[in-house]
Structure 1
Amino acid sequence: MTQPRPTTAPAHRLVPGPAGRVHLVEQGSGPLVLLVHGFPESWYSWRRQLPALAAAGYRAAALDVRGYGRSSRPADPAAYRMLDLVADNVAVVEALGEREAVIVGHDWGATVAATSALLRPDVFRAVGLLSVPYTPPGGPRPSEVFAAMGGPDAEQEFYVSYFQEPGRAEAEIEPDVRGWLAGFYAALSAGTQPGPGAPDPHFVSRGGTLRERFPAGRLPSWLTEEDLDVYAGEFERTGLTGALNRYRNMDRDWADLAAHHGAPVKQPALFLGGALDASTTWLSDAIAAYPATLPGLTASHLLDGCGHWLQQERPEDTNRLLTDWLAALPA
C-alpha cells in the first residue's frame, strides 16, 4: 500500500528555552508529537520516525536535549536536573505555538517524557515510552542503589555510578569518541551484544573502563558509517559532559520529586521494549506494575530479537506501532 507523502521536508529550528536555546528538527503538520532522545544520542535517533509521523498526519519535532548537539549546554551540573528538562519540553511546545502535545521518549528520554507527563498533564496529553519502563519517583536514594549493584566484593562498578563521577567517563570517551560510541552502540544491540558468559558491558572492572567490555570490529546492522559520523561529530564538538550530567543529577531528582513518590502517570500511554534489552529484563517488575503505575496504558509491546536502540534497530515496527497508537488516542 502506498503511504502518503510527508507534507514538508525536515526543518532545523532553534527555539527559546529556559537555558537559552533548544535545537529541534520538525516535519509534517497536524497534532504535535515531541520526540525526546536518550544517551548518547541526539535528535538524529528519530530520523526514521520524523517522515513516518509526518506521513501519518502529525507534526513531529525531535529535539536535542539540553547538553546535546546545538541546544544550550549550561556550565552548572545542577542545570541538568529533571525539573529543568521538563521545563525545556514545555517551552518547546509553547515556542511551536501549541498548547499541548503527545510526548515520546527513548532511554533517558523515556524517563524525561514520563516525568513531563506526570508534572504537566495540562501540556502532555499522552506519553510513549521506548526501552525504559516507567518507575514512579521514590524508593531509596539512587546513588546508594547503584553503588550496591557491583556486588559485595566490589570487584566491578555499575555504569551509572561510573558516569556519576565528574570527569571520569569523559577521560575514557573523549580521546576516541567515534570508537567508543561504536562499541557502546554495538554492546546494546541485537546481533552484536556480548553473548552469555561474556563480561557484562553495563559494569566496569575496578580500575578498568567500560570500553574493555564492548564488542569490537563491526557495527550493528542499524548503524552505518555515515550515521556514526553524525553522532561522533556532534560529541567531538560538544564533549560529553553535558550528556553525562543527566546521570549526575539523579539524587537531586529524587529530592525534587519527593512530593510525587509513587505517583502514577494517568494519561494514555504506550510502552515499546526490546526483548533483548537489559532495560526491560532488569525492570520487568516495573512493567508488571503498569496497571497501578500506568493506568492509562493502551498499548504495550516487546519486540522479539531487538536490543536497546529500538526505534533505530526496528524502525518499521516502531513506526507502525507508534502511529497505530497515536491514531487510537482521543482527539
Structure 2
Amino acid sequence: MSQHVSEITHRSVASPGGRIHLVEQGSGPLVLLVHGFPESWYSWRHQLPALAAAGYRAVAIDVRGYGRSSRPAATDAYRLLDLVEDNVAVVHALGEESAVIVGHDWGATIAANSALLRPEVFRAVGLLSVPYTPRGGPRPSAVFAGMGGEEEFYVSYFQEPGRAEAEIEPDVRGWLAGFYAALSADTMPGPDAPDPHFVGKGGTLRERFPAGRRPTWLGEDDLDVYAGEFERTGMTGALNRYRNMDRDWEDLAPFDGAPVTQPSVFIGGGLDASTTWLADAIEAYPVTLPGLVSSHVLDGCGHWIQQERPAEVNRILTDWLSAVTV
C-alpha cells in the first residue's frame, strides 16, 4: 500500500449549518460516507483504508449535530433538506463536481435523499441497513404512535426534546454500549425477550439492553471514541434528526413516491430489524431503485453492518464501485 493511501487526514469545511468535519483517505473518484445514529465518521474506519487501497478518495463525515461538525441550536435545523445541502457543500469544498454517496442507518436515508434531490451531484448511491422507502403514506408521527400497542416505539420516545437525553446523558458510555449490543448479531436479545426498539410504560430503552455483554466488533478503544464524542457534545444534535421526520414528510411532498434512479447497491443484515421490518421496501426495489446493481442481505448479521462484517461490506462496495465509477 502506498504512503498516500495509509494516511488519514482530518479537516473541516464550510457548510450551510456552519462547518462539517471530515476524514479523508486515498485519491481517485470521490466516495462520501455518511454515518447513522448514534455514531460518527469513525463508523467507517474499516472502509476508509479499503476504499483508498482500491483507488478511491474516501471521505467520511461527522453529520451535522455530531462529533466535530457544527450543532445548530434550532431543532428544525436537522431536516433532510439541510443535511443534503451539507453533503453538496462537502463535495464542492473538496473541489469536486460529483461523488458517489454511501450511507448507513440514518445515513442511508440521507444518502438516498441526497441522490433524489441533487442527482447532478450524487451519481450513485449505496444504502446500508435501511432500505430506500419513497416519501408517502400518513404523517410519520401518526404511524409511529400506532405501533407497539401499550409500548412506545423508540422513534416516538425520541420526539420530545430532553426526554431521551435525560436517560442517556448521565451515563453516555454505558448507554451506548447497551444500545450497540442490543442491535448486534452476537449480543442482541433473543426473540422471546422484550423488544429493545420499544419502551414499556414509564420505562426506559436501557432496561431492555443486554447487560454486561459487548459485541465482538466493539473494542474498548472503539467505545471510548464514540462515548468521548457524545460526552463532549451531548445527544441533542443526534436526536434532532428524529424530531424532523414530520417536517421531512412535508418538505418532500413534491417527491411523493419518487424513485432514486442512479446506480445503487443495498446491503442489509439478516438479523437487523431495519432490514426485516422493511422487507416490502426491498421487494419494491425494481420500482423504487430502478438503477439497482445488486442487493445483499448478510445472514446472521445485525444492524452495525460495516463494523460487524467489514470484509464482506468492503468487497461488495468495491465490486459495486468498480461497476459504477470511471
Q: Which band: TM-score by shorter chain?
A: over 0.9
Alpha-carbon offset, residue 150 of structure 1: 1.9
Q: Distance in 1 between matches of 2:323 and 2:254?
A: 32
- Superposed, 1:21-100 pairs within 5 Å as 21-100=19-98
The question of whether the paired residues in 1 share the 8 Å contact of 2:103 and 2:110 is answered with yes
Q: Which residue of 1 aligns with 2:203?
A: 208
After superposition, give the CA deviation of every residue in 1:49-101 in whole Å (9 maximum; x if it has no partner): 00000000000000000000000000000000000000000000000000000
Alpha-carbon offset, residue 4 of structure 1: 6.8
Determine if the alignment matches structure 1 residue 123 to structure 2 residue 121: yes
The question of whether the paired residues in 1 share the 8 Å contact of 2:30 and 2:56 is answered with yes
Amino acid at match of 1:111: T
Alpha carbons of 1:8 and 1:96: their partners in 2 closer, same or farther (altered >3 Å)?
Answer: farther
The question of whether the paired residues in 2 share the 8 Å contact of 1:194 and 1:214 is answered with yes
Amino acid at match of 1:214: F
The question of whether the paired residues in 1 share the 8 Å contact of 2:29 and 2:325 is answered with no
Q: Distance in 1 between matches of 2:222 and 2:181?
A: 13
Q: What's the secondary structure of 1:311's corresponding residue?
A: helix
Amino acid at match of 1:190: A
Determine if the alignment matches structure 1 residue 195 to structure 2 residue 190: yes
The question of whether the paired residues in 2 share the 8 Å contact of 1:5 and 1:55 is answered with no
Q: Which residue of 2 aligns with 1:308?
A: 303
Q: What's the secondary structure of 1:16's corresponding residue?
A: strand
Alpha carbons of 1:237 and 1:121: their partners in 2 closer, same or farther (altered >3 Å)?
Answer: same
The question of whether the paired residues in 1 share the 8 Å contact of 2:5 and 2:49 is answered with no
Aligned residues: 326
Q: Distance in 2 between matches of 1:138 and 1:4?
A: 47
Q: Which runs of 5+ in 1 are unaligned?
A: none
Percent identity reads: 80
Deviation >4 Å, runs of 4+: 3-6
Q: Aligned to 1:251, which of 215, 225, 246?
A: 246
The question of whether the paired residues in 2 share the 8 Å contact of 1:27 and 1:61 is answered with yes
Q: Aligned to 1:241, which of 236, 250, 256?
A: 236
Q: Distance in 2 between matches of 1:19 and 1:66?
A: 7
Q: Distance in 2 between matches of 1:262 and 1:327?
A: 29
Q: Which residue of 2 aligns with 1:144?
A: 142
Q: Which residue of 2 aligns with 1:279?
A: 274
The question of whether the paired residues in 2 share the 8 Å contact of 1:22 and 1:71 is answered with yes
The question of whether the paired residues in 2 share the 8 Å contact of 1:114 and 1:129 is answered with yes
Q: What's the secondary structure of 1:150's corresponding residue?
A: coil
Q: Which residue of 2 aligns with 1:266?
A: 261
The question of whether the paired residues in 2 share the 8 Å contact of 1:35 and 1:105 is answered with yes
After superposition, give the CA deviation of every residue in 1:235-290 in whole Å (9 maximum; x if it has no partner): 00000000000000000000000000000000000000000000111000000000
Q: What's the secondary structure of 2:5's corresponding residue?
A: coil
Q: Distance in 1 between matches of 2:153 and 2:325?
A: 41
Alpha-carbon offset, residue 168 of structure 1: 0.5
Q: What's the secondary structure of 2:146's corresponding residue?
A: helix
The question of whether the paired residues in 1 share the 8 Å contact of 2:176 and 2:227 is answered with yes
Alpha-carbon offset, residue 7 of structure 1: 2.5
TM-score, structure 2 normalization: 0.99
Q: Which residue of 2 aligns with 1:292?
A: 287
The question of whether the paired residues in 1 share the 8 Å contact of 2:128 and 2:268 is answered with yes
After superposition, give the CA deviation of every residue in 1:19-64 in whole Å (9 maximum; x if it has no partner): 1110000000000000000000000000000000000000000000
TM-score, structure 1 normalization: 0.97
Q: Which residue of 1 aligns with 2:173?
A: 178
Alpha-carbon offset, residue 190 of structure 1: 0.5
Alpha carbons of 1:12 and 1:330: their partners in 2 closer, same or farther (altered >3 Å)?
Answer: closer
